[in-house]
Amino acid sequence: MQVLWAPWRMSYILNEDKPEGCIFCPGEERSEDEERLILHVDDHTVVMMNKFPYVNGHLLVAPKRHVPDFDLLGDLELLKLGLMVKRSISILRTFLKPDGFNVGINLGKVAGAGVEQHIHYHIVPRWHGDTNFMTVLADVRVIPEHIKETYRKLLPFFKNLKEEER
């Protein structure tokens, strides 16, 4: 028998690691970005890795402003949010070379929103064969690389975005 280890999932299962406040509100302090898996913050958007991903490279892109729905976003915020989703997909395509993507938003708890109060996109890279019997039969996902390692690999790509914006 082979054992698949995903030790970071236990805090999610036991709900021990729930941070205070909104996970998408970055604040002004950048010293905890790595711990929070925040890859990028600018005047309008936040990009972070999903701490409990479906697959490697599962990103979350949110407006910097704390809003629960599209109706509360201004046109500039919507534009910047869309552009950041586009840039994030481009980075993932370059670095992880997926065969496709699932990109979407869950609006409301009934639609699957885990954090209803702060609208956010899910960007999920997909590969041929990335869904297997583990997910279907055992409700287990096999993530081949530790999330911190993926974070360290993606971070330079997002740091380059800051330089491009100047």
List pLDDT tens digits, range 28-52: 989 999 999 999 999 999 999 998 8
- Collapsing DSSP to helix, strand or coil, 98 comes out as coil
**What is the pLDDT, as a whole number, of residue 54?**
77
User: In this structure, what token pair is assigned to residue 142?
Assistant: 């096999």
Whether 122 is catalytic is no
The segment with the largest mean pLDDT, out of 107-116, 120-129, 154-163, is 120-129
As a whole number, mean pLDDT of residues 17-26 equals: 78
Q: pLDDT: is 54 or 35 the higher one?
A: 35
Query: How many whole angstroms separate alpha carbon 118 and alpha carbon 113?
Result: 9
Domains of the chain: 9-165 (3.30.428.10)
HSE-up of residue 89 (Cα within 13 Å, Cβ side): 17
- Collapsing DSSP to helix, strand or coil, 100 comes out as strand
As a whole number, mean pLDDT of residues 135-159 equals: 74
**What is the pLDDT, as a whole number, of residue 40?**
96
Q: Predicted confidence band at 127 (pLDDT cuts at 50, 70, 90)?
A: confident
List pLDDT tens digits, range 79-123: 999 999 999 999 999 999 999 999 998 888 887 777 878 999 999
As a whole number, mean pLDDT of residues 140-150 equals: 73
**What is the pLDDT, as a whole number, of residue 36?**
93
Query: How many whole angstroms separate alpha carbon 44 and alpha carbon 47?
Result: 10
Residue 67: is its pLDDT beyond 50? yes
As a whole number, mean pLDDT of residues 55-60 equals: 91
What lies within 8 Å, CB to CB, of 156 at 6+ separation is: none
Catalytic residue among 40, 44, 120, 122: 120
